[in-house]
């Protein structure tokens, strides 16, 4: 595969959103990015058939078409980004107010290489508040935020470590592991708000077990392709 080469950067923050059939959520996600100066928004679509592209275009996002796969899509968006800070945002997740100020403050701290936001889940399902506490404890104490917490870092460092590894799953976990070797990863004091759909679909207990079992299995040497089969993520799912 030909290496990606980033274009010349002009803006401050580039928000990169990989999508695949996010028509029910993308409008709210994009709304949370608007009204902030020196920010560009790039939607990288992997083959949506539900109006995701049309909604993204109507909201003023820059559109990039990519082969499906979250790592591949995020790298493709980063290659088109003009900012010197990259923020990777899921298509069903909303950013907090003044997210740009928190990003600048966190990345300005000595020794900090990346950051993310606290986890917040948009739902009232029993157990979600406990889930948030567990995720935020892991993220803050162990410096292990996952991709659904809107990971951000400097663009030059992103390319220095080779971008997201091309893996069917665990690409965010591997990225964070690489970053932790270089410096601190800080979780901000405010929360993103992500859809509760995954927990509503498979249940909080099962989802929590997956969230802790998959990283452990990966750390012990189980291949990402096998983990993807366990998780049920097909190659076409970002």
* Separation of alpha carbons 189 and 184, rounded Å: 16
pLDDT on residue 215: 87
To which CATH superfamily is domain 11-231 assigned? Spore Coat Polysaccharide Biosynthesis Protein SpsA; Chain A (3.90.550.10)
- The label of the residue with tokens 């928004």 reads 41
pLDDT on residue 195: 95
170-201 per-position pLDDT tens digit: 999 999 999 999 999 999 999 999 999 989 88
* Separation of alpha carbons 33 and 132, rounded Å: 22
Q: What ranges do the domains of the chain cover?
A: 11-231
* Separation of alpha carbons 40 and 38, rounded Å: 7
* Separation of alpha carbons 52 and 23, rounded Å: 4
* Separation of alpha carbons 129 and 3, rounded Å: 42
Which one has a higher pLDDT value, 123 or 153?
A: 153
Say if residue 81's pLDDT is above 90: yes
* Separation of alpha carbons 16 and 10, rounded Å: 16
């Amino acid at each position: 595969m030909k290496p990606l080469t980033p274009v010349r950067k002009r803006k401050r923050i580039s928000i990169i959103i990989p999508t695949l059939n996010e028509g029910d959520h993308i409008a709210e996600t994009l709304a949370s990015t608007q009204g902030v100066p020196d920010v560009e928004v790039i939607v990288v679509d992997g083959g949506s058939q539900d109006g995701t592209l049309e909604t993204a275009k109507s909201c003023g996002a820059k559109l990039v078409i990519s082969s499906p796969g979250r790592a591949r899509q995020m790298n493709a968006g980063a290659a088109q980004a003009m900012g010197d800070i990259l923020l990777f945002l899921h298509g069903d997740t909303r950013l907090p107010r003044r997210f740009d100020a928190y990003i600048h403050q966190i990345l300005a701290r000595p020794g900090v290489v990346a950051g993310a936001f606290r986890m917040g889940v948009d739902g009232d399902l029993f157990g979600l508040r406990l889930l948030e506490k567990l995720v935020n404890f892991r993220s803050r104490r162990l410096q292990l935020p996952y991709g659904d917490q809107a990971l951000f870092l400097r663009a030059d460092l992103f390319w220095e470590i080779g971008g997201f590894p091309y893996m069917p799953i665990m690409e965010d976990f591997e990225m964070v592991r690489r970053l932790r070797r270089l410096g601190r990863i800080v979780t901000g004091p405010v929360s993103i708000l992500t859809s509760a759909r995954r927990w509503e679909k498979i249940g909080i207990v099962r989802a929590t077990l997956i969230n802790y079992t998959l990283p452990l299995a990966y750390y012990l040497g189980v291949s990402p392709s096998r983990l993807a089969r366990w998780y049920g993520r097909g190659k076409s799912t970002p």
